[in-house]
Structures are given as C-alpha cells and as structure tokens.
Amino acid sequence: MTTQQTDQDALREQVRARYAAAAVKVTSGDCGCGQPADCGCDSGCCGGAATAEEPGFGAELYATLDRAQLPDTALLASLGCGNPTAVAELHEGETVLDLGSGGGIDVLLSAKRVGPTGKAYGLDMTEEMLALARRNAAEAGATNVEFLKGQIEAIPLPAATVDVVISNCVVNLSTDKPAVFRETFRVLKPGGRIGITDVVAEDRLSPEDRAERGSYVGCIAGALSRSEYEAGLTAAGFTDISVDFTHQVGDGLHSAIIKATKPVDTSQPNEVTASAGQAALPLASQAAAAEPPGRGRRRALLG
C-alpha cells in the first residue's frame, strides 16, 4: 500500500470516528457538556453547531417551516453549511440521492418534496449515523426513503438511476474528490443534476493555506477552491457548472452552492480526461489531518 493511500485511509477513519461520536451523542441524549443533547447546540454547548465565533453551520440554515417538520434528533445531528434541498429544485416523482446523509435531515426534506411517487436515498459510511437516520425516518413516518451504507467515492447504486444528487458540506471531507465526481456522474440519469452545498476556498488560497486555517475533519483543509471545483466537475463530464459563494465561514473560505448538469447526450467523451481532473485537485495528506494549535476552528459534522 502506498503512503498516499495510507494517508487517505487514516483521514477517512478520522472522519468516520468523528461523526460516529457525534451520532452517539445525539442518540444518547448527552452532548458531553453536562447538559442534555437538546440544550441548544447552536449556543455551542456541544462544540459543533454554529456559534458566534464559528457562524455559518447547522440547522439554523434551514427555514423555520422545514425545521418544524423534522424530529429534534435530525436537527441536532445537522451541522452542514447550507440547505441543498432549497437549491436543488426538487420535483414530484424524482429520485434523489444525498451524499453523506448523516442524521437524515436532507433526505427527509427531499422525501417530502418528491412525494410518495418519488424516492430519497441517503448514503453514509458511519453505522451510528445510519442508525440515527433510520430512527429519524421512522419517527417522521417517511416511507419513501432508504439509507445505504457506503462511501461517496463508490456509490452502491446502478448507473443512470438518480434524477438529483445533493450533499451538505461533505464533498470537502472526501480524500478522492475526482472519484466522487465520477461516481455522481455515473449514477445520474442523462439530464440529471446536482445541487450541493459545500465549503469552498477562494482561488487565492493554496492547499497549504487551507491546512493552516483548520483541520481536515473540520471541513477546512480538504476544501477545494472554486476553480478546482469547476475543473473537477468538468473532468467528470458535467456542464452548466456554477459555484456561487453564499456566506463566509472563515478567512478566504465560504459556504457555496454548486450546481451542474449531466448532458442528455453522453455518447461523446469529455475533452478533459479523468487523469487531468485528478491532477487538477489537491491530494489529501496526513499533514492536513491535524488542526493547527490555537486555531480553534469548527469541526463540522456530516449531514
């Protein structure tokens, strides 16, 4: 096994362990601060949701009406950087896939939007998050949802079976983003689309600059720049690509809405090869895993 692969595996395990612990805290009803899990994590008691020092993450990014429709534990486990269901323009009868579904908030909201004739899948690699999501779905009475275990770099669904792929602050956590883009393209039907929210860096920040600003598991060190995101999606075959910043989450770092479309005619190979796309994106390294001393940056959670 190469050193690069070892580093990627180590980072993936750090991500898995971090979010497994987060799910256990929500499920157990104890956020680890001597208060119950519903003590108001937006006040920072659990050290994960949006705070005055680390704004721009968590369930508060969802409309009040959306939050009112969901179990409390789905809200507590939601620590993404946006609301992808609000930007994906979901329609009745569509099939939706949420990459890194966490506690299931975006899957449950998607299920309501696509209705009983549609389907909402959630994909997560963490058993504890999957258990929490399934419990939340049962509490919400959602019957058109299914949660799958797997990695977003190898989606366990057939090709051309999904209308829309969404994700909330998860792609930045992947150690192989070209694989994520290729797999997303594969499972989408021709004419399908993505509506992703993610942490994206300004082009002026090098990978080293991003690593200085926060950890990999904190959604900072692994963030792509805007031009890297565009290049990666183009290499995978997507068109109509847009990467729009919505709000700042750090120095040179923003929550962004990413949209793209899989062409209806995919018979012609994309001019940009997969290897070119790989070269355009920074590779994960173990050096990015450690959070710099004194930074105190937010450690964002899946979903």
Query: Residue 58 sits in a domain of what CATH number?
Result: 3.40.50.150
Let me know if residue 134 belongs to a domain: yes
DSSP-derived secondary structure for 27-86: HHTB-SSSSBTTS-GGGTTTS-S--SSS-S-SGGGS-HHHHHTS-HHHHHT---SS-HHH
Q: How many domains would you assign to the chain?
A: 1
Check residues 286 and 166 and name the one with the higher pLDDT.
166
Let me know if residue 247 belongs to a domain: yes
The string of pLDDT tens digits covering residues 65-124 is 454 554 444 444 444 566 777 777 899 999 999 999 988 888 998 999 999 999 999 999
Contact present, 62 and 83 (Cβ < 8 Å): yes
Let me know if residue 166 belongs to a domain: yes
pLDDT at 210: 87
Let me know if residue 252 belongs to a domain: yes
Confidence at 140, pLDDT banded by 50, 70, 90 = confident
Alpha-carbon span 167 to 146, nearest angstrom: 16
Token digits of residue 274: 């997969």
| Residue 256 structural domain | 3-288
Let me know if residue 302 belongs to a domain: no
Alpha-carbon span 55 to 58, nearest angstrom: 9
Let me know if residue 298 belongs to a domain: no
Find the angle CA(276)-CA(280)-CA(283) to the nearest 5 degrees. 115
Check residues 38 and 67 and name the one with the higher pLDDT.
67
Question: Does the model's pTM come out above 0.85?
Answer: no
Most confident of 53-62, 72-81, 117-126, 287-296: 117-126
Let me know if residue 293 belongs to a domain: no
**Count of residues for the chain?**
303
Rounded (10°) CA dihedral 141, 116, 100, 139: 0
Confidence at 218, pLDDT banded by 50, 70, 90 = low
Bridge partner list, 30? 36
**DSSP reduced 3-state for 276:** helix
Token digits of residue 75: 């809200």
Let me know if residue 222 belongs to a domain: yes
CA distances from 212 to 9, 235, 247 (A): 21, 28, 20
pLDDT at 84: 74
